[in-house]
Structure 1
């Protein structure tokens, strides 16, 4: 495959994938993402990377020129520096998303307390968990006791409790 023959679709693919990533990224930034926005942003970014590499190969001479000018070098270095700084942890400690602490607190509470928060009978809580394949033995157990310390598993179990059953 000769890269020059791919010109008719490479630049439009860069434009389209850039649009997709920009819009989904801004939606995620403002916590307005829904549906498959986050999944599309994370997985389709690979398409963007691939078509950008192809675009660079297609426009190799122009690309190299940016490394010869002061302005080009400064802009590229600036973004590389920001990338490097993005790996730093500020504020010390383990910076977790703000939802983690309340989820862990609820997951550690006895099922009887979770039932009270959900305004359900304990039997309904255990039934909803059982429908998801999680068997509770008694109301003193916690979600953490049942699914372990994996945050994702805890969130799925708590969501199973919170979701209204299909009628």
Structure 2
């Protein structure tokens, strides 16, 4: 048969080790290089390997589904997955994400103050705003006055102003 345990199980084990180590490194903010990229994209390898492992061991998997322990453990996993979709923290209470307050403060500052905070001359600020598609003749206006209350748009423009946009 095509699905053989002699290669499916090592594939699952190897992909699990890769994701476990990169996940732990990311959790402790010790990841470097392509750790995050490998973790995100090679997780598909773990998914495929797990499915192949289940198929290669289908009779045993069916036994687990019939046992009370197997049902409880699989049910607990499904329950944790369902709970992970519930909003928590301030965002779950209708609040805004933590970065919203500083973004809004910068967006409400007069443009000369924003230029000073960004370490730019008023002319450099105007050039970066123009590069972001923002045109204003009012030197005392704020980004909020020009852009409106759209936090996402304010964040995009501020990224251009501070030179962090791609």
Equivalences for residues 16-165 of structure 1 within 5 A:
16-33=14-31, 37-90=35-88, 92-94=92-94, 96-130=96-130, 132-138=131-137, 139=139, 140-142=141-143, 145-146=146-147, 149=150, 151=152, 153-163=153-163
For the 8 Å contact 2:132–2:160, the answer to whether it is kept is no
**Deviations 1:22-50 (Å, cap 9, x if unpaired)?**
34433444455566554544444333222
Q: CA deviation at 1:58?
A: 1.6
**Deviations 1:66-117 (Å, cap 9, x if unpaired)?**
2222322222122222222223334552254422332243234443332122
Segment of structure 1 superposing worse, 25-34 or 67-76: 25-34
SS at match of 1:67: helix
Partner in structure 2 of residue 4 of structure 1 = 3
Structure 1 residue runs of 4+, over 6 Å off?
Answer: none
For the 8 Å contact 1:13–1:51, the answer to whether it is kept is yes
Unaligned runs of 5+ in 2: none
Q: Tell me: CA distance 1:47–1:89, structure 2 relative to 1, closer, same or farther (3 Å).
A: same
Once residues 50 and 160 of structure 2 are traced to their aligned partners in structure 1, the CA distance between those partners, rounded to angstroms, is 41
Count of residue pairs the alignment pairs up: 160
SS at match of 2:3: helix
Once residues 20 and 145 of structure 2 are traced to their aligned partners in structure 1, the CA distance between those partners, rounded to angstroms, is 37
Once residues 3 and 30 of structure 1 are traced to their aligned partners in structure 2, the CA distance between those partners, rounded to angstroms, is 40
